[in-house]
Structure 1
Amino acid sequence: MDFEEAADALYAASAADFIATRNELAKQLKADGDQLGATRLKALRKPTVAAWLTNLVSRQLPDEIDDLLALGDEFREATADLDGERLRELTPKRHKAIDQLVKAAGQLADEHGQKISADVGQKLRETLDAALVDPAAGDAVQEGRLSSALRHVGFGVVDESGEPSNVTPLTDERRQRAVDRRRAAKAGAGKADEPAADEESAAERAAREKAEREAEERKAAAREEFEAAVAAAESAEATVEELDGQLTAAQEALEHAREQVRRLTAELDEAKKTAREAQKESREARKRYNRL
């Protein structure tokens, strides 16, 4: 099992079992020699109910999510073309697609024993709409690893706290699969791709190679930054484990001390009772003596 498989399995688990599943999968990755993957997995956040529900819909209804994202492509094309008539045609389709997915989500939640409030339902609706409007949000929804619901607010996508959402980018392989699915959906709808040029011009090739080099440089820099962050996380994790051990030892010592206090308190109470009884017996004896 690699990190990608472990992350998929983690977000496919029930929300109630997320922490236990994350710890078990991280332990398995570490045992397999993937310390980096284990550290990355431990950094993944537990999804909110709305995010868990969105992930469930993405996994259980991938074709419907593909259709939603394809509809988003059509919206962006019509918007770029300033095609008002086309936008008016697509708007009811947008509402219908989201309504159907929200309804299906409620049924899926019932099957998993999860009650869905009106607030969670609204957040699901906003997340699906963000996926339709914003390609990055669409990729994140399709990946099925959201930790927070999303909302499109005009200038971008925010999470449930209202902060700008840094949706996790897909791997190159997953992104290509998403692109292939959308192309296949368009082809099935009778939209033919434009014919590609038979040859690449020298200028185009130079521009492409430059873009590839710059992308590789960005990847290398990001990799270094990530490895430094992982090293810091591992150091912090070691510190946490050490402090956790100290806390456990202190708690055990405290419990032992409390047990001693309880035992000594009981002995003291017994001694006081014995002393009171002895004093009472002494008074009775003195009374009997005085009567002689």
Structure 2
Amino acid sequence: MDFEEAADALYAAPAGDFIASRNALAKQLKADGDALGSTRLKALRKPTVAAWVTNLVARQVPDELDELLALGDEFREATADLDGDRLRELTPRRHQLLDNLSKVAARLAGDEGQKLSGDVAQKLRETLDAALVDPAAGAAVREGHLSSALRHVGFGVVDETGEPSNVTLLTPQRHSPRRAAAKTTSKDGGGGGRLTGRGAAEDQDTAAEQDEAAAARAAASGEQAAQREREEREAAEREAAEREAVVRAEAKRVFEDAVAAAQAAEATVEDLDTQLDDARDTLTEAQALVHRLGTELDTARRVARDAQKESREARKRYNRL
């Protein structure tokens, strides 16, 4: 068994057996000659409940988890293309996959005798969402070796304490142990004989192991710091690109709405102009009709006056007869 196999077995163990399993596996690695692997394994932290459930998801339902991570790729492509419409289409699917996977995780935990509290369920969902958003977090979740839940914030991924999280994978390299055997030589007064000092050799073995472990931790710390810096920079760039995509999409929507409103206003103006022209034509016709009727009325009144006058004169003539 090498370190990677031991780590897999450790994080696949029941949550309550983590410490005992870690001690047993570390002891086995050391017995197999991998003292550095044993030291590294002892340094692995016991996962929180949310992290343990996430690891369980990675092992039990990898296809469902891969679907979530693939959706993250689609989000990043849409963000790179500044495709606001595509981002809005993907968002409901994101929530649906998170809901479904959270329910599956709760069922798997229940099968293992672990009931999820509301707080743990929320941290599980945040971890899955971080895996979708951040590629490094997605790879760490997929590996199934989490010791803490993850959460994506503006500058990257943090753990349950709010501290920047190291989401780098456990190194896949195998480390060959180096054993150092030391002999001490002393001269006695009688014959210059050579004696082996067992205590000194064991002390030097331990010192060599500690030096190797310290060197490995220092190298890993440097790699982790550089990786964390790269991840924070990449996360900041992604966040900026996402914000720019949203701003551009919103600006495009506002522009399109403004164009549509202007076109609608122009159509309304044209319609009102047509109605005004029709009204003016109608008014002109009405005015002409009024003028004509006025003229006819004046003529009719004059004819009526003439008829009345003629009627009066005819009556006078009749009375004189």
Q: What TM-score results when the alignment is normalised by the length of structure 1?
A: 0.60
Whether the 8 Å contact between 1:75 and 1:87 is mirrored in structure 2 is yes
Distance of aligned partners of 1:230 and 1:83 in 2 relative to their CA distance in 1, 3 Å threshold: closer
For residues 93-118 of structure 1, give each alpha carbon's deviation from its aligned partner in whole angstroms, at most 9, with x where no partner exists: 10011101000011101100001100
Paired with 2:87 and 2:213, the residues of 1 have a C-alpha distance of 42
The aligned counterpart of 1:73 is 73
Amino acid at match of 1:2: D
- Counting only pairs closer than 5 Å after superposition, residues 260-279 of structure 1 correspond to structure 2 as none
- Counting only pairs closer than 5 Å after superposition, residues 176-195 of structure 1 correspond to structure 2 as none
The aligned counterpart of 2:215 is 228
For residues 35-57 of structure 1, give each alpha carbon's deviation from its aligned partner in whole angstroms, at most 9, with x where no partner exists: 01100000000000000000000
1:225: how far off? Answer: 8.9
- Are 1:42 and 2:42 counterparts? yes
The aligned counterpart of 1:26 is 26
The aligned counterpart of 2:56 is 56
Amino acid at match of 1:228: A
Whether the 8 Å contact between 2:36 and 2:212 is mirrored in structure 1 is no
- Counting only pairs closer than 5 Å after superposition, residues 70-109 of structure 1 correspond to structure 2 as 70-109=70-109
Which runs of no fewer than 5 residues in structure 1 stay unpaired? 174-223, 232-292
1:142: how far off? Answer: 0.3
For residues 7-30 of structure 1, give each alpha carbon's deviation from its aligned partner in whole angstroms, at most 9, with x where no partner exists: 000000011000000000000000
Amino acid at match of 1:146: L
Paired with 2:31 and 2:172, the residues of 1 have a C-alpha distance of 27
The aligned counterpart of 2:265 is none
- Are 1:156 and 2:143 counterparts? no
- Counting only pairs closer than 5 Å after superposition, residues 165-244 of structure 1 correspond to structure 2 as 165-169=165-169, 171=171, 228-229=215-216
The aligned counterpart of 1:140 is 140
Amino acid at match of 1:15: A
For residues 91-147 of structure 1, give each alpha carbon's deviation from its aligned partner in whole angstroms, at most 9, with x where no partner exists: 011001110100001110110000110000000000000000000100000000000
The aligned counterpart of 2:123 is 123
- The RMSD of aligned alpha carbons is 1.8
1:154: how far off? Answer: 1.4
Paired with 2:213 and 2:151, the residues of 1 have a C-alpha distance of 27
For residues 133-175 of structure 1, give each alpha carbon's deviation from its aligned partner in whole angstroms, at most 9, with x where no partner exists: 00010000000000000000111000000000011325469xx
Q: What TM-score results when the alignment is normalised by the length of structure 2?
A: 0.54
Whether the 8 Å contact between 1:150 and 1:160 is mirrored in structure 2 is yes
The aligned counterpart of 2:275 is none
Amino acid at match of 1:110: G
Whether the 8 Å contact between 2:39 and 2:213 is mirrored in structure 1 is no
Whether the 8 Å contact between 1:39 and 1:230 is mirrored in structure 2 is no
1:229: how far off? Answer: 4.5
Paired with 1:48 and 1:76, the residues of 2 have a C-alpha distance of 29
For residues 51-72 of structure 1, give each alpha carbon's deviation from its aligned partner in whole angstroms, at most 9, with x where no partner exists: 0000000110111111111100
The aligned counterpart of 2:280 is none
- Are 1:15 and 2:2 counterparts? no
Whether the 8 Å contact between 1:50 and 1:123 is mirrored in structure 2 is yes
Find the structure with the greater CA-based Rg.
2
Distance of aligned partners of 1:133 and 1:109 in 2 relative to their CA distance in 1, 3 Å threshold: same
Paired with 1:137 and 1:230, the residues of 2 have a C-alpha distance of 21
Amino acid at match of 1:128: L
Paired with 1:96 and 1:72, the residues of 2 have a C-alpha distance of 13
Amino acid at match of 1:20: A
Amino acid at match of 1:79: T
Paired with 1:93 and 1:12, the residues of 2 have a C-alpha distance of 30
1:226: how far off? Answer: 6.5
Paired with 2:172 and 2:5, the residues of 1 have a C-alpha distance of 15
Whether the 8 Å contact between 1:139 and 1:170 is mirrored in structure 2 is no
Paired with 2:54 and 2:61, the residues of 1 have a C-alpha distance of 10
Q: Which 4+ residue blocks in structure 1 deviate beyond 3 angstroms?
A: 170-173, 224-227
Whether the 8 Å contact between 1:36 and 1:230 is mirrored in structure 2 is no
Whether the 8 Å contact between 2:19 and 2:46 is mirrored in structure 1 is yes
Paired with 2:78 and 2:149, the residues of 1 have a C-alpha distance of 27
- Identity between Structure 1 and Structure 2 (%): 79
Paired with 1:102 and 1:169, the residues of 2 have a C-alpha distance of 23
Give SS of 1:26's match: helix
